Amino acid sequence: MSQAKRRRVLGIIATDATFERVPHRGAEVWMGKCLHCNAHLTVGLDGEPISRATIEHIVPRSAGGTDALENLGLACARCNQGKGSRHDAHFHRDARVRELVDRLLQKRRDRWRDPGDPDSE
């Protein structure tokens, strides 16, 4: 994974209250939850995923979504791939897809942690 992507992952972790630093197999890691299914995700302190954590664009880029932290979350690869293949292409035509995106955006807002929060370290 590129340095830029690892920095983006760490930015998402800093703003997602489900992530905490915990000991894991003799090292400290970030552990949090998939934005979709709440499965545990494990990421090294350097931003390198240990589990199959992927960057999720909640509003797809194809529908005008950006790389702003408010539009990004971490998701397990299975959930992220499923959303991309089943939903992202239908964003403009399917109200159910827009409802899914709205639910994910709300979940991201509910998990939001100010990056300066001392509990994020």
DSSP string, 3-70: HHHHHHHHHHHHTBTT-EEEEETTEEEEEEE-TTT--EEEEETTS-BSSSEEEEESS-GGGT--S-GG
Task: Look at residue 120 and tell me whether its pLDDT is greater than 60.
Answer: no
Model confidence, pTM: 0.89
- Average pLDDT along the chain: 91
Find residue 112's DSSP bridge partners.
16
